[in-house]
Chains A and B, each alone.
Chain A
Amino acid sequence: MDQLQLAELVERYLKGEMDIAERQAFEQMRMNQPELDQMVVEFHYFLEEMDRYGEIRRFKSNLYDTHHTLQESGEIKELQLDTKARIINMWNKYRRVVAVAASIAGITAIFISGMLSLFTPKAPFDDIEELRRKVSNLEKQSSNQRAEFNRFKTKIEPGTDVKFGGTSFLIDAKGYLITSAHVIKGAKKIYVQSPAGEDLLAEIVHQDQNADLAILRINDADFEAPRQLPYGFSQSQTGLSEFVYTLGYPRNEIVYNEGYLSAKTGLGGDTMSCQISISANPGNSGGPVINKNGEIIGILNARQTSANGVVFATKIKQVYQLVSELKDADKDLNIKLRNASSLKGVSKSQQVNKVQEHVYMVKVVLG
């Protein structure tokens, strides 16, 4: 009997879907064939685990939804700790450390100033002018150097087959980017080009073809991590007709476009995505869809070729889920999606100005 038939039989047997005669025949078979019996036991265990897996996933998704709803209705909210209490707390905790550090600093300072006054030669006055000129010379030189640095040399070797794939943006200031999975399909090497024009090497952390999402990490010594991302990741549903905008690289230059949410589901009623009326072109894939508060609500991923301005985006909820799944699997993975946007109430052009610093062009080198 092949595994396929066996799987079906065992599942029906375990779920009690067999009638009495069939059941008895099956049990007889088990008695007579120890290797079949062994397989049944194995399958039994596996199917139990499978069911349990399903239950846990359902429970987790219920927990997630509940958190979401309660947060939306305002029944749970971020805790505002009394800052004073917090500082006192910290002071109490670090009092000893601070005291030790302060006394070391004090002693060192006294020692150094003593040494300085002891060893400093008495400088003649006419040295000072020259010194100043040297500084201004230095300044000139360093500004020249800066200009040189700004003309980034591309790291991509000439003659490599580069496909200007699409757009990505930071989801965590530590250098984690998100983009659409189809953008990096078949990639041998991935570079992301910063808004300043610098190519940075990136690696794939995870890709989920089903949700069309991929997480990349910039793995390049030249990457300077921003202190904080200005935008947040929306936790609430966006309403129909709400204003949204996107930034992306349909050409070698960052391009802004705006539109509105036109349907809460994607193609064919797909609940993982939503429909947006916006003008987008190849290359916009993987770009952020942002609402008026500066919160990311989705990732652009496709457009309908038969109609104009019909574009689909993967909902941000999928990103939340993906990240939490990844974190479950790898406890050391430190990706945090910020909820709060610091762009609320900020004018559109200022928002775009801030956001665009964190939107990267994805360049894929095909293998």
Chain B
Amino acid sequence: MAITEQELEIFRAVGNNEKTAIESVYKENYTLIQHFVVSNNGSEDDARDIFQEAMMVLYEKSRQQDFELTCQIRTYLYSVCRRLWLKKLQHNRRIESQVENFDRIVPVEEDIEEHEKLNGQYLIMRTAMGKIGEPCKSLIEAFYVHRKNMQEIAGYFGYTNADNAKNQKYKCLVRLKKLFFAQYKNA
């Protein structure tokens, strides 16, 4: 089936982390994936985890310049979820069952491998963040995750001015960098 312009628009918007797009993809596809996972030995929580991981893959793909969506979002998500879930079933050595068939599946093996690599890097940063301690963790999160400006951060953390907060941020950043590379070498 051809991909509509609207579909491509939503795909792009997911990459920009736009809430409405995420919601519409969620609404249209969650039940399908939920049904797939739950009727193949999975729980409700498994369904949510698998779907959200597939959304991460979709997000990464959308941000990637050289990736072109060649099938419907629904087909893509289903293919990724199916692969992820099979992997998980095998990993847990549950009884390998005949996973029910679906007519349209696209190959996503490489995409998932890539996602796992990216996720590994993300986890390295997360471990480093977990080790840095307070107030550094909150400070860095406020800036890089919640995108607060230095003025707001100064107010929130009780620094007398934005410059002081900035100084503190760089101190934390240098520490985090050390932790990050230490973690990186171990990984």
Contacts and interface: CB of A to CB of B under 8 A. Distances in A.
Contact of B48 (A52, A58, A67): A67
A328 interface: yes
Contacts of A147: none
Interface in A1-44: 3-4, 7-8, 42-43
B153 to A, nearest CB: 14
Contacts of A93: 95, 97
Interface stretch (B65-73, B103-111, B172-180): B172-180
B38 A4 contact: no
A185 interface: no
Classify the interface of chain A: helix, strand, loop or mixed.
helix
Contacts of B127: 329
Interface in B101-125: 121-125
Contacts of B167: 4
A339 B44 CA distance: 10
A254 to B, nearest CB: 30
Given A4-B167, A43-B177, A49-B125, A210 B134 contact: yes
Given A49-B121, A209-B134, A54 B147 contact: yes
A329 to B, nearest CB: 6
A8 B170 contact: yes
Interface string A289-330: 000000000000000000000000000000000000100110
B31 interface: yes
A59 interface: yes
Contacts of B138: 210
B174 A53 contact: no
B23 A66 contact: yes
Interface string A205-237: 000011000000000000000000000000000
Given A63-B55, A210-B134, A329-B127, A4 B171 contact: yes
Interface string B111-153: 0000000000111111101100010011011001101000000
B30 interface: yes
B185 to A, nearest CB: 13
Contact of B23 (A49, A53, A56, A70): A70
Contacts of B130: 329
A240 interface: no
A57 B145 contact: yes
A70 B97 contact: no
Contacts of B45: 336
**Category for how many chain B residues contact A:** 35 or more
B22 interface: yes
Nearest to B130: A329
A328 B95 CA distance: 24
Contacts of B22: 62-63, 66
A79 B122 CA distance: 32
Contacts of A51: 144
Given A4-B167, A49-B125, A62-B19, A76 B30 contact: yes
Contacts of A210: 134, 137-138
Given A7-B174, A329-B127, A329-B130, A56 B19 contact: no
B89 interface: no
A50 B26 contact: no
A81 B38 contact: yes
Nearest to A65: B19
B52 interface: yes
Interface string B54-78: 0110010000000000000000000
A329 B125 CA distance: 11
Interface in A51-95: 51-60, 62-67, 69-70, 75-76, 78-79, 81, 89, 93
A70 B23 CA distance: 8
B34 A59 contact: no
Contact of B17 (A42, A53, A58, A209): A58
B164 interface: no
A152 interface: no
Contacts of B122: 52-53, 56
A252 B4 CA distance: 67
Given A63-B55, A336-B45, 6 more contacts: A53-B125, A53-B126, A53-B144, A58-B145, A69-B23, A70-B23
Interface of B: 17, 19, 22-23, 26-27, 30-31, 34-35, 38-39, 44-45, 47-48, 52, 55-56, 59, 95, 97, 121-127, 129-130, 134, 137-138, 140-141, 144-145, 147, 166-167, 170-171, 173-174, 176-177, 180-181
Query: What 5 A-B pairs come out closest when comparing CB atoms?
Result: A54-B144, A53-B125, A57-B145, A54-B145, A3-B174
29 contacts: A4-B171, A42-B177, A42-B181, A43-B177, A49-B121, A49-B125, A53-B125, A54-B147, A57-B141, A58-B145, A62-B17, A62-B19, A63-B22, A63-B52, A63-B56, A64-B52, A66-B26, A76-B26, A76-B31, A81-B38, A81-B39, A93-B95, A93-B97, A210-B134, A210-B137, A328-B123, A328-B126, A329-B123, A329-B126
